[in-house]
Amino acid sequence: MSTLSIIGTPIGNLEDITLRALKVLGSSDLVLCEDTRMTKRLFDRHGISVPTKSYHMHSKLSRVDEIITLLKAGKNIALVSDAGTPGISDPGSELVSRIRKECITEISAGELKIEAIPGPSALTSALSIAGVPCADFTFLGFLPHKKGRETLFKEITASERTMVFYESPHRILKTLDSLVEHLDTAKKVTVCRELTKIFEEVVAGSAQEVKAYFETHTDKVRGEFVVIVSRE
């Protein structure tokens, strides 16, 4: 029996990792990492020493063949990304999809298992502290830079549902500009910045108010951002 474990890791605070994640990481034959140097910081903090190999967006298809061969040989492999949950705006889903297709016989025979070791995600962390309706919501990942961007802003504006997306420090002001342009003033914008880190911050208000805040506090236009648009 071999296992591919998809493991959630911290989004900033290195203590945000489950006991099960530490146990599985420490006993894996191989850990696939988006960036081995980032994962080393986590391993050093928790005294884990196991072989690592890179697996990222640009990994060749042959890397997946290598992984499948190892799994078929009975090895236990873990997958982590630089932060949060693999597959959520991060590498992982293509690998899982190929393994589900190409190892269908082993999976049905109970010889190979793909398991979730859940952990943090910026998406759920932001929603948990924003105080917005989140019984149902739409997650948009990163907004496109050009094609489809306008259409998406129209969708965000028209939706009654809470809309969540990821944004970088280089584009947050531009995105807030677009929200000011499109949103009606009754809509609430919540920006969650640097979650779980020293400068964690939640800024909420109309698009205009949130934009004015970041234009005034230019020192805060850095780090990592989750943007939420909601009706209240």
Q: List residues near ligand SAM by CB under 6 A.
A: 11-12, 81, 83-85, 88-90, 121-123, 166-168, 192, 194-197, 224-226
| Run of H or E residues at 174 | helix 172-182
How near is the Cβ of 82 to ligand SAM at its closest, in Å? 7
- Whats the size of the chain, residue-wise? 232
How near is the Cβ of 179 to ligand SAM at its closest, in Å? 15
Q: Which is nearer to ligand SAM, 85 or 190 (CB)?
A: 85
Q: Which is nearer to ligand SAM, 207 or 227 (CB)?
A: 227
Residue pair 37/58 in contact (Cβ under 8 Å)? The answer is: no
Residue pair 1/111 in contact (Cβ under 8 Å)? The answer is: yes
DSSP annotation string for 133-150: --SSEEEEEEPPSSTTHH
Q: Which is nearer to ligand SAM, 22 or 202 (CB)?
A: 202
For residue 92, what is the DSSP state?
T
How near is the Cβ of 30 to ligand SAM at its closest, in Å? 20
How near is the Cβ of 111 to ligand SAM at its closest, in Å? 29
Cα–Cα distance measured from residue 79 to residue 99, given in angstroms and rounded to the nearest whole number: 13
**Token pair listed for 211:** 């934009």
Residue 105: strand, helix, or coil? helix
Q: Which is nearer to ligand SAM, 4 or 228 (CB)?
A: 228
Q: Which is nearer to ligand SAM, 82 or 112 (CB)?
A: 82
**Residue least distant from ligand SAM (Cβ):** 84
